[in-house]
């Protein structure tokens, strides 16, 4: 469970609007209840203070795809269970690329504060989750719930690289899972 390095805490408030979680199942190895996971993600984002027009993607991919992403972005070999790709930085004023010389003729300037906040992507591999579940969270469904919460917390700026961060992140995982999922079949934090 890992993420690329991040530069700062992400924005959590967008302009007037609603939080949207786009879910895509791009694998056939294990069943995925899209609506269930979308609702869990929305609940967790709300609990984390995400408000207004904000967007996140939740992608379920096969082991080959996540292995490629894991190698490309983390420098690790082989498939992993979850990767998070936060979108950092302040919104940029739209312009012409590559010179960013301002809007093209006839185009209206857009206030960056009116743009939705793009939180990032959480990519989950159900095949790896299914393999890990018996010795981690206990069941396949519990494992997916844990991975989704874990991935979202990475988008929110949490990490587990050092002990203090790991302890805080695991405590927040327990709280969120308890509130929006229920007790896991096994204790993945032991």
Is the residue at 46 inside a domain?
A: yes
What span, in angstroms and rounded, lies between the C-alpha atoms of 91 and 114? 10
117 within 8 A of 13, measured Cβ to Cβ: yes
Task: For 105-154, write each residue's pLDDT tens digit.
Answer: 555 555 556 678 899 999 999 999 999 999 999 999 999 999 999 999 99
Q: Please give the tally of structural domains in the chain.
A: 1
Element (DSSP H or E) covering residue 149? helix 140-155
Would residue 130 count as lying in a domain? yes
Number of helices (H), then strands (E), in the chain = 5, 4
Residue 1 lies in a domain: no
122 falls within a domain:
yes
- Mean pLDDT score of the chain, rounded to an integer? 87
pLDDT, tens digit, for every residue of 65-90?
999 999 999 999 999 999 999 986 55
Does 73 map to a domain?
A: yes
Q: What is the pTM of this model?
A: 0.84
Question: Does 52 reside within a domain?
Answer: yes
The residue segments making up the domain with residue 58 are 19-90+116-180
Which is nearest to 31 in space by CA: 149, 141, 133? 141
For 45, phi and psi rounded to 5 degrees?
-60, -45
Tell me, what CATH number does 133's domain have?
Answer: 3.40.390.30
């Amino acid at each position: 469970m890992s993420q690329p390095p991040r530069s700062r805490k992400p924005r959590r408030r967008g302009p007037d609007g609603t939080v949207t979680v786009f879910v895509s199942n791009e694998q056939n190895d294990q069943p995925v209840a899209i609506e269930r996971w979308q609702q869990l993600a929305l609940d967790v984002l709300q609990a984390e203070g995400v408000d207004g027009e904000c967007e996140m993607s939740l992608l379920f991919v096969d082991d080959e795809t996540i292995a490629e992403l894991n190698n490309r972005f983390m420098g690790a070999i082989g498939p992993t269970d979850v990767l998070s790709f936060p979108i950092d930085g302040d919104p940029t004023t739209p312009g012409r690329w590559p010179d960013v010389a301002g809007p093209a003729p006839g185009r209206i300037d857009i206030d960056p504060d009116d743009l939705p906040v793009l939180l990032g992507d959480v990519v989950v591999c159900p095949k790896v989750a299914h393999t890990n579940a018996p010795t981690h969270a206990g069941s396949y469904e519990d494992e997916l719930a844990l991975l989704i919460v874990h991935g979202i917390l990475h988008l929110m700026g949490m990490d587990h690289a050092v002990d203090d961060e790991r302890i805080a992140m695991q405590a927040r995982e327990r709280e969120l899972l308890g509130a929006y999922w229920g007790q896991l079949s096994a204790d993945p934090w032991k």
